[in-house]
Chain A
Amino acid sequence: MSADPILAADVAAAPPTAIELVSVNKWYGDFHVLRDINLTVKRGERIVVCGPSGSGKSTTIRCINRLEEHQRGQIIVDGIELTNDLKRIDEVRREVGMVFQHFNLFPHLTILENCILAPTWVRKMPRKEAEDLAMHFLTKVKIPEQAGKYPGQLSGGQQQRVAIARALCMRPRIMLFDEPTSALDPEMVKEVLETMVSLAEDGMTMLCVTHEMGFARQVADRVIFMDAGQIIEMNEPNAFFSNPQHERTKLFLSQILH
């Protein structure tokens, strides 16, 4: 597929370092859920995060758009450091798109309305322009014909593709994916993954929590393995899969790769 001109232009305008996590620590009550996370993501880089449940991988990416608050360390997204300042948080969220496991589409709005809500209210884009942009991205995820329907009338795979289009309508420079295919029927996983691959081909900076190892091999620049709240191993995909170093990584890979 040829590169999307809108996405390519947005990514080119972004600063060279997309995300920087420096010694990030987080606690849920007494539970130390993130332990000294250090990670630098460059513009255009695609990173896949995997690990057993409860390892802190979702929490990590949810900290990047402040859906979760970190207690110690620094998170700098697109040159903006996340603090308690609400203005900065909103600023970061405008630049960072997120796709959730359970889609989180707004059931009371049509697909098109879902897509233009944030651009018109947050970016103050004229409605016509927002609709054109939404149709552009709905076409990109291959469901422009569903624009007038409500989320409840779509299949899971279609809903997730709408969720991706909705996030893209804010013209984000970074996309976060939190287990985007885990809630889907097996037949629908592929269509969502294809959409994500095409995004990667456009040069989008992506941070993706997933267990789709085929996807990781195909598009990831780096694969991160987390366990017990810390980064255990990080490597480029070929080395990660063929030659894991840590015992925990070897065990994990032997469980999920058949």
Chain B
Amino acid sequence: MDVSAPPAGKPSGYVSSAMLQQQPPPVSTTGPIAWARAHLVGSVGQVLLTLFGLWVAYVVIPPVVRFFFIDAVFTGTNRDACLPEKVGRDVGACWPFIWAKWNQIIYGFYPEPERWRVNLVYALGVVLLVPLMIQKVPGKRLNALAFFGIYPVVAFVLLTGGDLGLRGFLLSRLGLGGVFTNIGQAIGLRSGFWPDYVVSALLISAIVAAVAPVFAGNRRTAGKGMLVVFAVLGVVLAAVDIPFGLTSVRTDLWGGMLVTLVIAVTGITASLPLGILLALGRRSQMPLVSIASTAFIEFWRGVPLITVLFFATYMLPLFLPGGVSIDKLLLALVGVALFASAYMAEVVRGGLQAIPKGQYEGAAALGLPGGLMMRLVVMPQALKLVIPGIVNNFIGLFKDTTLVLIVAIFDLLGALRAAFADASWATPTTVVTGFGFAGLFYFVFCFGMSRYSMALERRLDRNHRH
């Protein structure tokens, strides 16, 4: 209708006479043709880019497919299967090399009769993790407790063999070792550890309860809380101390995917809670907490991971008193976890800064005390905002685990490189095949994390649109 110029002699007002019905959109704005027009051939520049993309795909994809699949060798027992002279044609990837070294790549030098333990740890991990990641499966609380609380202890016992033979707890270090050893032997224990532990736990809980009022705490709850902490710690220590009859496997025999996953999973699961604590610490009103957190974060962000690993493995023993040796893998685990948590702290802090003041005020006005406010209102929103950053860190950490190679821990890449040295598999394409396989391994895990995080983001986004 024409509303531009009112007809002469009529008033210039306009009153709508009917509500207009919704009509279908023109064909040119929907469907595949419209999509192609909008995304592939909309302008001269787009046409050129589309052609360039096709050319890149043409140059890259066929040779890769040819190398890894068409020209590849899939069966064989030694290098002869993959040597062009023997086969009489161009040879691509030498897959029999991977099959032959499979066990080394997966388990490192983990003793063969004990490998069922590693498999069991893998299987348990999958069984516990998969339902945790699927929203619809009920019992998340129990599942999380099993995965984050019980699984690490079980995995530790299975992988190392447990049976640590703990000697003494706190009081033994203070010169009471003899007394507790006697008590322990009197009641049929291997050492004085458990009598020492029980006495120490009671003593410390009593002290905590006694000083609780100084920090505006309740005597009963503080003492009880401390006893609960000791009880949980006691169960964990008992689990790693009791001899289950498993053969002990030293960590320098571990290798391959086992080491990669142990370091990555430990780093990932430790870095998030530690990072959250550090981020909260850095924003704390208490200067001591804030300065300590900031110093920690800046220190660990300021040094390269390689330096950390190198220092922990080769320099730290020089400073320790003689006879004290700490497991190399354990040092690497701690180093990686602390390193990753410093990065995580800054990601989480970014999320915290994006939460408007109104959210804090809304929670405060309802009478929620600081801790609950953080846990129930602020943190869930902040973490959701920084999921991309968190997963970025997880993925970076997963790939950084390869750096442990520098301190002679043989992760997946290390095991692979050791396998390259085997003369019976020396062929022109062995190394490329190996690295291709390693690349695929890391890609599958990292891409998996990436896709899962995107699905998680979409799910959370669907819930609360702003």
Contact = CB atoms under 8 A, between A and B. Distances in A.
A167 B464 contact: no
Interface in B360-376: 361-369, 372, 376
A121 B372 contact: yes
Contacts of A151: 464
A51 interface: no
A105 interface: yes
A89 to B, nearest CB: 9
A252 B358 CA distance: 29
B22 interface: no
B384 interface: yes
> Which of B362, B364, B463, B466 lies at the interface centre, i.e. has the most chain A CB atoms within 10 A of its CB?
B362
Nearest to A150: B464
B380 to A, nearest CB: 5
B183 interface: no
A153 B384 CA distance: 18
A90 B367 contact: yes
A90 B358 contact: no
A118 B359 contact: no
Contacts of B372: 121-122
A63 to B, nearest CB: 13
Interface in A90-123: 90, 93-94, 96-98, 100, 102-109, 117-118, 121-122
Contacts of B367: 90, 93-94, 118, 122, 170
B365 A108 contact: no
A100 B365 CA distance: 10
Contact of B359 (A65, A96, A106): A106
Contacts of A94: 367
B464 A108 contact: yes
A170 B366 contact: yes
B377 interface: yes
Contacts of A166: 366
Contact of A108 (B363, B369, B381): B381
Contacts of A108: 380-381, 384, 460, 463-464
A80 interface: no
Given A108-B464, A151-B464, A90 B362 contact: no
B465 interface: yes
A107 B466 contact: yes
Contacts of A167: 365-366
B212 to A, nearest CB: 15
Nearest to B378: A106
B376 A121 contact: yes
Interface string B380-398: 1100100000000000000
Interface size class of B (residues with CB under 8 A): 20 to 34
A122 B466 contact: no
A127 B460 CA distance: 23
Given A100-B361, A106-B362, A86 B380 contact: no
A107 B376 contact: no
Contact of B376 (A67, A93, A102, A117): A117
A232 to B, nearest CB: 27
A104 B361 CA distance: 8
B358 A150 contact: no
A107 B368 CA distance: 17
A10 to B, nearest CB: 15
A165 to B, nearest CB: 12
A96 B364 CA distance: 11
A167 B362 CA distance: 10
A152 interface: yes
Nearest to A152: B465
B466 to A, nearest CB: 5
B376 A100 contact: no
Contacts of A96: 365
A151 B463 CA distance: 10
Nearest to A120: B376
A94 B466 CA distance: 28
A153 B465 contact: yes
Contacts of B361: 67, 100, 104
Nearest to B363: A106
Contacts of A93: 364-367
A100 to B, nearest CB: 6
Given A65-B365, A108-B381, A170-B366, A100 B465 contact: no
A240 to B, nearest CB: 28
A100 B466 contact: no
A189 B193 CA distance: 70
A151 B358 CA distance: 14
A122 B364 CA distance: 11
A86 B365 contact: no
A117 B391 CA distance: 29
B381 A104 contact: no
B145 to A, nearest CB: 21
Contact of B377 (A86, A106, A152, A170): A106
B466 A86 contact: no
A187 B359 CA distance: 26
Interface string A166-193: 1100100000000000000000000000
Contacts of A152: 464-466
Nearest to A66: B364
Given A65-B364, A108-B464, A122-B368, 16 more contacts: A103-B362, A104-B359, A104-B361, A106-B362, A106-B377, A106-B381, A107-B464, A108-B381, A117-B376, A118-B366, A118-B367, A150-B463, A151-B464, A152-B464, A167-B365, A167-B366
A-B residue pairs, 7 tightest by C-beta: A104-B362, A118-B366, A98-B365, A93-B367, A94-B367, A104-B358, A152-B465
5 contacts: A86-B369, A94-B367, A100-B365, A106-B363, A118-B367
